[in-house]
Amino acid sequence: MKKLTLLVIDDDPNICELIRLYSEKAGYEVRHANDGLTGVEIFYELRPDLVVLDIMLPGLSGWEVCKEIRSDSEVPIIMLTGKGESYDKIKGLDLGADDYVVKPFDPKELLARMKAVLRRYNIFNGDQDIITLPHLIINMKQYQITCYDETMTVPPKEIELLFYLATHANRVFTRQQLLDQIWGYDFEGDPRTVDVHIKRIREKLGKANTDWELKTLRGIGYKFEVNTP
């Protein structure tokens, strides 16, 4: 099996070495750069599966590197910074970063976050980007649902939630599991946001269907039930 490639862009050699040691032990192939411009050059040469990117870099900043990568690729990006201000986090996420880790960090936590963003990326960007069921098509590439011949563009979190449940048909998920998968492990909002999104999805799906159903299991969570003949 081909190893996943990780690109670490950080001006601190000790941080790069720490991430390399833990990541290689976890099975990644690791390259690193100590400035933004070199990081971008290696990115285009390597086409890594994942990027861990510091904000404070010589030359091109982490913000600029993130913007450059996002202009060409949807590869998962985890931002690293010594700052904990919410502004930095929001800016990184707005530029397209997938997660955010504040230094100093536990390498094991970083590995867990790497695994999580890769899992989400593979779910939403894998070979299966369209799910077709009787009277329902979920198209992740266009963020559209076609239900009973009516096509509608759906907000990202709603369609990602529906797509995730549909790709794991007949499996029950708790609110917390869905928050971790769709909103990320560091989501600090109200867990009931899942309920709100489920309600909105149901409103869009409309009438009941005997082939599939978005079901609530009281006190447990939700599942997308598909009835097979």
Q: Summarize pLDDT for 73-83 with one digit per residue, the tens.
A: 878 899 887 76
Residues 57 and 159 occupy one common structural domain = no
Query: Both tokens of residue 223?
Result: 């599942």
User: In 10 A of CB 88, how many CB atoms?
Assistant: 19
Reply yes or no on whether the pLDDT at 187 is more than 90.
no
Indicate whether this model's pTM tops 0.75: no
Task: Supply the CATH number for residue 27's domain.
Answer: 3.40.50.2300
161 close to 198: Cβ distance less than 8 angstroms: yes
Task: Please tell me whether residues 31 and 118 are part of one structural domain.
Answer: yes
The pLDDT of residue 126 is 55
In this structure, are 72 and 169 located in the same domain? Answer: no
For residues 121 and 134, state if they share a domain: no
Confidence band of 10 (pLDDT split at 50, 70, 90): very high
One domain, residues 121 and 155: no
- The answer on 16 and 110 residing in a single domain is yes
Q: What is the CA radius of gyration of the chain?
A: 20
213, 107: one domain? no
Q: Are residues 10 and 118 in the same domain?
A: yes
Contacts of residue 116, Cβ cutoff 8 Å, sequence gap at least 6: 99, 180, 181, 184, 185
Range of the domain at 141: 130-226
Read off the pLDDT band of 167 (50, 70, 90): confident
Q: What is the pLDDT of residues 30-68, one digit of tens each?
A: 999 999 999 999 999 999 999 999 988 998 999 899 999
Contacts of 123 (CB under 8 A, 6+ apart): 163, 164, 167, 181
Q: Are residues 102 and 24 part of one domain?
A: yes
What Å distances lie between residue 7 and 16, 52, 61, 77, CA to CA?
A: 10, 6, 16, 10
CATH number of the domain within which 175 lies: 1.10.10.10
Per cent of the chain over pLDDT 70 is 87
77-127 pLDDT tens trace: 998 877 655 666 667 667 778 888 888 889 998 998 898 788 766 655 555
The predicted-structure confidence for 216-226, as pLDDT tens digits, reads as follows 998 889 999 88
What pLDDT is recorded for position 85?
Answer: 59
With 0-12 / 13-18 / 19 or more C-beta atoms within 10 angstroms meaning exposed / middle / buried, residue 72 is exposed
